[in-house]
Structure 1
């Protein structure tokens, strides 16, 4: 009886680990979708790609296309930022974000900041990256 209970406990632990791994994979997808949505819903944001300006909807569409084309290279939100959201694979130029107040920053800075906010969850303070 004790052996059966131990076997059941091991099976439950294995199932929990598998479910957790699946949930983590889904949560990375959700994080990527949330990153793209932050751009798409931004008022006054301009996405600068290879010197051309793009509105938030165009930028989101481009990011989704790059994500699709990246395939298995993108497993995490960090991978998405690295391979899809920071620069042109054609020219090597970094993507830039211009905000409504006129500030301009590299998209990598913007997306890492947004990822920290997403990972912190709603209504939680976000610590500055050291």
Structure 2
């Protein structure tokens, strides 16, 4: 029968595993952080409402809520791109699983993932069009 790891080896292993978990919890790269920030600013300024778990909220409330979710996901090392943020944090309630919705004046509500992705693509297209050639 093999003897268990000595305490010092177990401690070293635990510390090594802990260090690898901390390393995995990297923040969003600056370019992706800028995109997410601009996207949430766009949502706030859009005049659209944001639905989570059956209640409609103004853009400022939506932005604040989604920033909290971004902080959580970053802390867990779960996002590295704006698309991952939309998919993992800005598409549905982590409590109920219900999709988030965005409702703009005179339009039918759409799932937030669709709205946010369309806005992200518009932002990228505008940035590409204004880039020096």
TM-score by length of 2: 0.70
Rate the CA distance shift 1:87–1:103 in 2: closer, same or farther, 3 A: same
Q: What is the 5 A alignment of 1:9-20?
A: none
Q: Which residue of 1 aligns with 2:100?
A: 95
What SS class does the counterpart of residue 73 from structure 1 fall into? coil
What SS class does the counterpart of residue 68 from structure 1 fall into? helix
Q: CA deviation at 1:123?
A: 8.4
Q: What is the 5 A alignment of 1:78-89?
A: 78-89=83-94
Q: Which residue of 2 aligns with 1:27?
A: 31
Q: Which residue of 1 aligns with 2:67?
A: 64
1:105 aligned to which of 107, 110, 118: 110
What SS class does the counterpart of residue 94 from structure 2 fall into? coil
Q: CA deviation at 1:118?
A: 1.4
Structure 2, gaps ≥5 residues long: 1-28
Q: Which residue of 1 aligns with 2:46?
A: 42
Q: CA deviation at 1:121?
A: 2.2
Rate the CA distance shift 1:123–1:26 in 2: closer, same or farther, 3 A: closer
Q: How many residues matched?
A: 100
Q: Which residue of 1 aligns with 2:82?
A: 77
Structure 1, gaps ≥5 residues long: 1-24, 125-130
Which stretches of structure 1, 4 residues or longer, exceed 3 Å deviation after superposition? none
TM-score by length of 1: 0.72
C-alpha distance in structure 2 between counterparts of 1:76 and 1:29, whole Å = 8
